[in-house]
Amino acid sequence: MTTLSDILETSNFEKLADGFVFTEGPVWHPDGFWFFVDVRDSKLFRLVPGRKPELVRQTVGGNGTTFDMQGRLINCEGDGRRLTITAADGTVSTLIDQHEGTRLNRVNDVICRSDGTLFFTDPALRIPVAERGAGEGAVYRFTPDGSSHRVAWCEYPNGLALSPDESTLYVANTRWAAYIHAIEIDTAGNMVRRRIFADMSSDVTHGVPDGMKVDAAGRVFCTGPSGVWVFEPDGTRIGIIETPEVTANLAFGGPDLRTMFLTSSTSVHTLRVKVPGLPVPWYNAARGGRG
């Protein structure tokens, strides 16, 4: 049976920076730095390990981040109710802020599939009922042809990740009930069926199911009560990596993709693991599929 000692190279966290309000949205860039956001302060940062974080720009409640297949940064801006895209020259523009003519609610997290499709979560709880143009919480996909499609309604969809073969979309549910959906999708990105992948209910009062990533072995890492919960591909819980602070999200990076970067409330930390995480598809494609 797999244990946390089979996963962690070390149990020592390294604090890279602190003094933030609420950090989120980490992603590794192959040029050797991390992007992350301070949600409550609406700032996007770039961090080269060993240096001080550099402010990239102000956001409108920036949250989850990823790269598209051209290596352009995609950012969920919850307060702006939109996904933004940053061009190579630094120009920021709105990628999508509506679905079928109605305004999105509060986009939270985003990932990219290897065909360029973006999947993103759009919870509705913090938007007044009268202003919920797109309805209740849901997961959407935005395709390279510029069209949007609703994948599934969800109670409070938050973090999301894809299985290594991209046939299963994992979605963390943050409010009312703490669990992870496993949504089976077809090649077009339509939902085939869904199930509860893992129950994350806990008596611990700090931390909720939030950011999520998958490693090369198909194991699911999801932030939650006490730290990062780790599950086998079949949903069996391996254990909880207890973190120094309440942790909202994580990402794998470094040259070998074995450095776990954690956005932990007022600080950002790293932790080394034995198995690399799945790279964002753009990075994987740029390296000829070697990860």
| Confidence band, pLDDT 50/70/90 cuts, at residue 124 | confident
pLDDT for residue 190: 96
**Residue labelled with tokens 């090649």:** 187
Burial class (CB in 10 A: 0-12, 13-18, 19+), 54: exposed
Q: Is the pLDDT of residue 288 over 80?
A: no
Q: Is 283 helix (H, G, I), strand (E, B) or coil?
A: helix
Average pLDDT of the residues of the chain:
94
Q: Which two tokens mark 169?
A: 């979309």
Residue identified by tokens 């042809």 is 145
Digit-coded pLDDT (tens) for 153-165: 999 999 999 999 9
Q: 290 pLDDT band (50/70/90 cuts)?
A: very low
11 against 76, higher pLDDT: 76
Beta bridge partners of 172: 180
Q: Could you tell me what percentage of the chain is helix, strand and coil, using 3-state DSSP and rounding each to the nearest 5?
A: 5, 50, 45
| pLDDT (0 to 100) of residue 177 | 81
Q: What percent of the chain clears pLDDT 70, i.e. is strictly above it?
A: 98
Determine the average pLDDT of the residues in 210-227: 97
pTM, 2 dp: 0.95
More confident residue, 35 or 125: 35
Residues 6+ apart with CB under 8 A from 178: 199, 200, 201, 202, 208, 209, 224, 225
Least confident of 42-46, 120-124, 129-133, 175-179: 129-133
Give the phi and the psi of residue 150 in degrees, each rounded to 5. -80, 125
Beta carbons within 10 angstroms of residue 64's beta carbon: 29
C-beta separation of 78 from 107 below 8 A: yes
**CA separation for the pair 282, 291 (Å, rounded):** 10
Higher pLDDT: 284 or 257? It is 257
Alpha-carbon gap, residue 253 to 230, rounded angstroms: 18
What is the pLDDT averaged over residues 179-205?
A: 95
- Supply the pLDDT for residue 136: 86
DSSP secondary structure code for residue 285 in this structure: H
* Contact in structure between 191 and 215 (CB atoms under 8 Å): no
Top pLDDT among 235 and 177 is at: 235
Question: How far is Cα 61 from Cα 241, in angstroms, rounded to an integer?
Answer: 28
pLDDT at 205: 78
Query: Do the strands 267-272 and 259-264 form a parallel or antiparallel pair, or are they unpaired?
Result: antiparallel
Q: Give me the count of residues in the chain.
A: 291
Q: How many CB atoms lie within 10 A of CB 155?
A: 16
Give residue 289's pLDDT.
Answer: 46
Whether pLDDT at 86 is above 50: yes
Interval 143-161 mean pLDDT: 95
250-266 tens-digit pLDDT: 999 999 999 999 999 89
Residues 27, 111: contact at Cβ < 8 Å? no
Is the pLDDT at 126 greater than 80? The verdict is no
In order of their start, the domains of the chain are 4-286 (2.120.10.30)
Q: Is the per-residue pLDDT at 59 higher than 60?
A: yes
Question: Which neighbouring-strand residues pair with 291?
Answer: none
For the segment 187-192, the average pLDDT, to the nearest whole number, is 96
Q: What amino acid occupies position 48?
A: V
pLDDT at 291 over 60: no
Q: Is the pLDDT of residue 249 over 60?
A: yes
Among the ranges given (23-37, 204-218, 273-287), the one the predictor scored with the smallest mean pLDDT: 273-287
Q: Which pLDDT score is estimated for 286?
A: 66
